[in-house]
Amino acid sequence: MALPKDHCGWTDRGYLPHYDKAGLVQAVTFRLTDSLPKSKRSEWEHILGITDDAERIRQIERYLDQGAGSCILRQPACADIVQNALLHFDGVRYRLIAWCVMPNHVHVLFETFSGHPLGKVVHSWKTFATREINKLLQRTGTLWQEDYFDTFMRDDEQQWSEKDYIEGNPVKTGLVPRAGDWPWSSAARQAGMA
């Protein structure tokens, strides 16, 4: 993976296409490996006939928000590990704008910096969190689904809408009454909780 040249634009590793450019604000979602079975994706595509990517993503988000899978990120120590991974290189490799660690998935809105491609940043978060959570839970194996969803923000309006969505996710799913009450999010940090 010989990216830089300020990150080369569109890339594809055989999964989802990703757009990567230094200075671009990206919304990324990655999820636990057991949070979305392949059978569910097939059901949406074949039985329900959902072929529109935007609608498929909405279906996936609704399903994730119901708390599918082991939801090990519901354990405070596991959520702390993921949040600390996100915060570790903030201001060095990227600039965090918003984040939320949900029970079975993670949302992050951030600006990439030159020399730190999107894929490598996400890989570092997932690799660190896997190692530390596996150690904590005395387990081995894969923690995250292989790929991630990303969307680059076309303008400020889209960026602030995405920020509201990310920080409001725990409220929408009924985990807390106010966004600032969810400890593993940028909203809590802004509210002075974290």
Per-residue HEC secondary structure of 134-187 comes to HHHHCCCCCCECCCCEEEECCCHHHHHHHHHHHHHHHHHCCCCCCHHHCCCEHH
pLDDT score recorded for residue 35? 78
The closest of 109, 123, 120 to 158, measured between CA atoms, is 109
Q: Give φ, ψ of 28 to 5 degrees.
A: -125, 140
Would 66 be classed as within a structural domain?
yes
Would 43 be classed as within a structural domain?
yes
Would 9 be classed as within a structural domain?
no
pLDDT score recorded for residue 154? 92
Strand, helix or coil for residue 34: coil
Q: Domain of 167? A: 16-190
Residues of the chain with pLDDT under 50: 1-4, 6-7, 10, 47
Strand, helix or coil for residue 4: coil
Contact 163, 79 (CB under 8 A): no
Number of domains in the chain: 1
Would 87 be classed as within a structural domain?
yes
Would 29 be classed as within a structural domain?
yes
pTM for this one?
Answer: 0.81
Could you give the CA distance from residue 43 to residue 2 in angstroms, rounded to a whole number?
37
Would 6 be classed as within a structural domain?
no
Would 2 be classed as within a structural domain?
no
pLDDT score recorded for residue 10? 46
**CATH code (residue 33):** 3.30.70.1290
Give pLDDT tens digits for 22-37: 889 999 999 999 877 6
Would 11 be classed as within a structural domain?
no
